[in-house]
Amino acid sequence: MTEGMPRALSALLFSLCLACGSTKDDPPNPGGEACERYDFPLSDTSSAAHVSSCSSTGCGNGENPPNSGLHCPTWLSCRSYPTEQPRCSWIHNLEHGHAVFLYNCPEGCADDVAKLEAAMATAAVGSNGVRRALVAPDSQLPKRFAALLWRRTYLMDSVDPDALTCLLALQDVDANEPGLVCPP
C-alpha cells in the first residue's frame, strides 16, 4: 500500500458520508437494522422555560402528548404511578433525559402496563442507581399508549416492546439537561 492510500481512503469515506445527506437532526440508529422500521422524529424546538404553577394549562409544546416546552419547576420521582400525574411535571422529567411511558386504558390494561414497566426497568440508570423513567396514566392521549423522550413521541394502540427498546437507545440524545438523576 502506498503512503497516500490511507489519506485518499479517508477522503473518499468522508465524501460518501456527506453524500448520504445526514443532518445533525437525523436520529442516530443505535439499534441497528432492528430499529430501522421505527420512526421517532424530532419535534420542533420550543421554549423550555418554567411556568409558575404546575397546574398550568399552558405547559408543553402544543402536541398531544407534549414532549417538550414550558413546564413546572418540579419533576416527578421515577416510578410507576397508578394515578394521572400533571403533564407540567413529567415534561420536566423529559427535559432531564428521563423516559415517560403513558397509557389511557379506562377499562384497565394490566398486561400492557406491565410491558411499559418492563421498558422502564431497562431505561438508563442515574448516578443514584435509579432508572430514569416513569409510567403513568394519561386520559388525554390520542392513542392507548405513548412513549416519550424530550422532543420525541411514539404513539401506539398496543405496546411494542421492540419499539420501546429502540426509543430508549435515544435516551439523553436530545434532552436539554441530559443525564440528570431522578429521585425514587
| CB-based contact 72:90 (threshold 8 Å) | no
* Cα(29)–Cα(38) distance, integer angstroms: 10
Q: Give the tens place of pLDDT for each residue, 13-37.
A: 333 333 333 334 444 455 567 899 9
Query: What's the predicted TM-score (pTM) here?
Result: 0.82
Q: pLDDT band at residue 61, thresholds of 50, 70 and 90?
A: very high
Calculate mean pLDDT across residues 58-76: 94
Q: How far is CA 75 from CA 46, 53, 91, 147, 164, in A?
A: 18, 12, 8, 17, 22
**Count of residues making up the chain:** 184
